[in-house]
Amino acid sequence: MDMTEKTAAAEAILFASGDPCEADKLALAAGIEPIELEEVIARLEEKYAREDSGIELLRLEDSYQLATKQRFSEQIKQAFEIRKNTALSAAAMEVLTIVAYNQPVTKSFVESVRGVDSSSTVNSLVEKGLLCEAGRLELPGRPIAYKTTDAFLRSFQISSLSELPPLPEQEAQLTIDEVMNSEEDSGDAE
């Protein structure tokens, strides 16, 4: 392994670690002799010292760590304020699944499938940008229909809904037409 490859290996280890990595562990993991480590570190410092790099190599006693340059702290803060990566609840995942496979759907359709009130979950997913309004249905009360967004696709790392895995026993699923017909029938009965 030449010095360029050893430097790349050390860089990959530091990047993957995220936390400070002790010099001896870094050398061992990268297949670098301890005497070569200083040259590898010097190469990385030179690479990250350039103005067009947003990363720097920190020396912390006998450890090293990759970090963002301090001058970009405001941009980083803004990015993480915009993109709050909060985990979705099981209820939110259920609602997203129902909408993704059956869209456009109403809240009442989602509630029929789940068997529980789902209004707050749907509203939360709209606020997060994972669902959006897809118009109103021509039914009494003109309920709002919902569909998934591009943010949904990005979040689940798919380029289209056709990449969703097939559902088992699709014949046994409830369709929006069946729910709409049952809503119309219940409205006629009153």
Give the helix/strand (H/E) hosting 22: strand 21-22
Q: What is the mean pLDDT of residues 100-127?
A: 91
- Return the pLDDT at 160: 78
* pLDDT at position 100 over 80: yes
CATH for 3-71, among 1.10.10.10, 1.25.40.10, 3.40.50.970, 3.40.50.720? Answer: 1.10.10.10
What is the rounded distance in angstroms from the CA atom of residue 37 to the CA atom of residue 41? 6
In what order do the strands lie in the sheet containing 131-136? 105-106, 144-148, 131-136
Where are the chain's structural domains? Answer: 3-71, 90-179
Encode pLDDT of 72-87 as tens digits: 888 887 777 655 556 7
Residue 190 has pLDDT above 60, yes or no: no
Please answer whether residues 92 and 124 qualify as being in contact, where contact means their C-beta atoms are separated by less than 8 angstroms: yes
90-179 shares the fold of 3-71: yes
Q: Which CATH number fits domain 90-179: 3.40.50.620, 3.40.190.10, 2.40.50.140, 1.10.10.10?
A: 1.10.10.10
Tokens (6 digits) for 140: 């009494």
Is the pLDDT at 131 greater than 90, yes or no? yes
The pLDDT, as a whole number, for residue 85 is 57
What average pLDDT score do residues 76-104 get? 81
pLDDT tens, 19-44? 888 999 999 999 999 889 999 999 99
In the prediction, which pLDDT does 40 show? 92
| Structure confidence at residue 187 as a pLDDT band (50, 70, 90) | low
| Separation in Å, CA 117 to CA 14, 61, 108, 120, 187 | 47, 56, 8, 8, 20
Share of the chain above pLDDT 90, in %: 39
